[in-house]
Structure 1
Amino acid sequence: MSLSSFRVEVSAGSVLFRQGDAPTSAFLLEQGEIEVTTRHGEESRRLGVLVAGDLLGEMAVIDDSPRTATATALTDCVLTPIDRTQFAERLDDADPVVRALLLSQLTRYRSALAQLSGQREPAPSAQVRDARAQDAAVALDKIRLESELREALERRELEVRLQPILEISTNRVAGFEALTRWTHPERGPVSPADFIKLAEETSLILPIGDYVLAEVCNALRRIGGDGDAAPFVALNVSGRQLDDPGLLDRFLAALVAGGVAPRRLKIEITESLVLDYERVSGIIARCHGAGMKVALDDFGTGYSNLGHLHKLEFDTLKMDQGFIRQMSDPRCYAIVRAIVGMAHSLDCDIVAEGVETELQLRQLRELGCRYAQGWLIGKPLPVPEALALL
């Protein structure tokens, strides 16, 4: 057997690894055929024949257990070794539900294999048992929370709140950002960072998005008003929603059904999605064609690509709250001033998020920033309380 860090060559009849060996690595079979067998007493039983493109030895590597079978080359073979860290890193980053399902299947396979070979099933180490138990607990909690989120949506228990956005020069509430909140009957308030992320991992974000849109249209109808000065509502849409080709058609249908002018709904696209320039450009064009405005959310959080920004015709830039909180630093103040100036040059409105002090508001007024949002202006409020601000 010829062995290197990147390629293993095994001649016909050679054993790659034996039953009971330690799991040093897995392999990708590039060329040839390998027979996998297990022993039951003196009897050898064939489990299968692997061909080019198959993985072998991966199960023992994943759960750090001794080899449960022997791999023998039927022909001259070429394999690529896969180090255990390559699996471990991917498993650590995987969804806990997927990880728990995989380990559950491995456990069942090992149990069946032990019965087939007449051996006692190998007991995992305490460390492995603890890791599996932790993964299973996280996975079950996540599955349970997703089911409860679906039930909350069905029962219309998700609440849409409106956070006011102040037009600084006139000191009036010019609009709101729609934010979704969920109070679980047992867990209490669930962080949007948790349940929105959970919804985005599945198709659940689509019906939730439609639900929030309907609530926003109802709020806009209650607000009333017409013309350019009529209050607007900004609604954040996720990447998964933007993948849905029927999204904007449903938005327009909901606005028409509610008798709401499209210009009063502002779509917010998070800055991380701007990396997909072609898709975002097309979405902006469709929104503008329908009369809706588009905002770039969380501007300055690390994904900014100024090389494309001038081509993406956003109507509004929402400056990340991290800049506002550090405006006492002269260098950060200079960055805020530059962002405001850039927005003006691009003929964009600009919203400063996270405004919490009168000093920050005064500085933004001096810089010519049009809108401010944050706890100084107002916290996310139930719709009736938000409407009372107008």
Structure 2
Amino acid sequence: MPRKTFRAGEMIFAEDDAPTTAFLVETGQVRITTVQHGKTRLLGDLGPGALLGEMAVIDSSPRSASAQALSDCVLTPIDRNQFAERLAAADPVVRALLMSQLSRYRSALATLTGDTRQEPGRLAQEDTHAFDKIRLESELRNALERDQLDMQLQPILHIASGNIAGYEALIRWQHPERGQVSPIEFIRLAEETSLIVPVGEYVLKRVCQMLSALRERGRSPLPFIALNVSARQLEEPGLVERMLAQLDAHDLPRDRLEVEITESLVFKHSLIKHLIDECHAAGMEVALDDFGTGYSNLGPLLGLNFDRIKLDQSFTRSMDQPRGKAIVQAIVAMTRALGSEMIAEGVETQDQLDTLRELDCEYAQGWLVGRPVSLQSVLDTD
């Protein structure tokens, strides 16, 4: 929309008008007033850079105040669709907080003006969901502080020897009221906030404790345990140093902790390369998780020296078809040519394991090998 010019004293909009447009003040001064018990009350004067009329546009309510040009003004109209598009794309928690504050403002203004038409604000379904996320975030913080998150270990089989070579560490949350909270739900929530960093530290500490317990039980050779690293953790300085500090505190071999990077993060090429270089310098290995899920192409593998590549379970399931088997065979060959090893995920049948053995795949992970279990269950099998 083109800019609009208003002369001094001209009304921009009046109380109870329909909320068609908001405005950005480019030049001049605008006075905002409302009628309180039959008398005009000044709410404020706005200058260049200020927005006016946006609240009515956001919640589609009649204008709750009037706007009048104090001096000659130039205003940029902002269509309600522009707000709607941005609100729809905003974080649902931020959107819910905005609507909550707007509702409280409306209620306060109604009390001030004696407007009995104002109804109590009602939360939309999406806002209720957003506040539930806020509640869950607080409960996750409490669970971290109270050491209420559980760690489970899923075994990784060395196919040729038939021995369990290592485990993947998986975090679980048994909520006292909600029951088992999906890892997808609370990990995604943690990644949306800074919580993923303390969650990652929690996992690191527990993994080192698990390795120490396995060593005390006499497991030899000591298996490796792999833990996942998120995008936000990658951006935190000193990540590898903290890993090494935990390993050293438990007097553990550094190559027994493996770092897993999900394929969706390979676009952070420089960060991952730096992490791999640091890990290799310290004697730790790095695996590329979920390979083949579609986020990356083969290009990043040219410059990222992963020690292991974890094949996504969708490929494992496709091996009962000639084309699927051929693709897996090609990936195994490519992995070996890169000087890496392959772990096939989602192995659920003996036929799948036999095919992987035939294709010279090094490792298998899945329900056939073993489901995620507690450390105590692992120790009890020794």
Per the normalisation by structure 1, the TM-score is 0.87
| Structure 2 residue corresponding to 1:182, chosen from 160, 173, 176 | 173
| Structure 2 residue corresponding to 1:79, chosen from 62, 76, 86 | 76
Q: Is the 8 A contact 1:111 1:121 kept in 2?
A: no
Query: Residue 173 of structure 1: SS of its match in structure 2?
Result: strand
More divergent stretch after superposition (258-267 vs 236-245): 236-245
1:62 is aligned to: 58
More divergent stretch after superposition (159-168 vs 324-333): 324-333
1:51 is aligned to: 47
The percentage of aligned residue pairs carrying the same residue is: 55
| Structure 1 residue corresponding to 2:254, chosen from 248, 256, 262 | 262
2:109 is aligned to: 113
Structure 2 residue 16 is matched with structure 1 residue 24: no
CA distances 1:154-176 after superposition (whole Å, capped 9, x unpaired): 33221111100111222211100
**For residues 192-211 of structure 1, what are the structure 2 equivalents within 5 Å?**
192-211=183-202
CA distances 1:341-367 after superposition (whole Å, capped 9, x unpaired): 222221111111111112222222222
1:134 is aligned to: 125
1:288 is aligned to: 280
Q: Which residue identity is paired with 1:366? A: E
CA distances 1:149-199 after superposition (whole Å, capped 9, x unpaired): 233323322111110011122221110000011112222211111222222
Distance 2:105 2:17 in 1: 18
Quote how far apart the aligned CAs of 1:80 are. 4.6
Quote how far apart the aligned CAs of 1:381 are. 0.9
Per the normalisation by structure 2, the TM-score is 0.89
Distance 2:76 2:193 in 1: 36
Q: Is the 8 A contact 2:26 2:73 kept in 1?
A: no
- Please list every run of 5 or more consecutive structure 1 residues that lacks an aligned counterpart in the other structure: none
More divergent stretch after superposition (322-331 vs 208-217): 322-331
Structure 2 CA distance for partners of 1:42 and 1:211, relative to 1, 3 Å: closer
Distance 1:210 1:230 in 2: 22
**For residues 1-390 of structure 1, what are the structure 2 equivalents within 5 Å?**
4=1, 7-13=2-8, 14-40=10-36, 43-73=39-69, 74-84=71-81, 86-123=82-119, 129=122, 132-135=123-126, 137-224=128-215, 230-387=222-379
CA distances 1:282-335 after superposition (whole Å, capped 9, x unpaired): 111111121111111112222104333211111111121122223334444333
Structure 2 CA distance for partners of 1:186 and 1:123, relative to 1, 3 Å: closer
Distance 1:346 1:34 in 2: 67
Q: Is the 8 A contact 1:34 1:75 kept in 2?
A: no
Measured on the aligned residues, the alpha-carbon RMSD in Å equals 2.7
Q: Is the 8 A contact 2:25 2:73 kept in 1?
A: no
Q: Which residue identity is paired with 1:161? A: Q
More divergent stretch after superposition (280-289 vs 19-28): 19-28
Q: Which residue identity is paired with 1:162? A: L
CA distances 1:97-135 after superposition (whole Å, capped 9, x unpaired): 3333222211121122233344335337xxx83xx1534
Q: Is the 8 A contact 1:29 1:77 kept in 2?
A: yes
Distance 2:379 2:86 in 1: 48
More divergent stretch after superposition (8-17 vs 314-323): 8-17
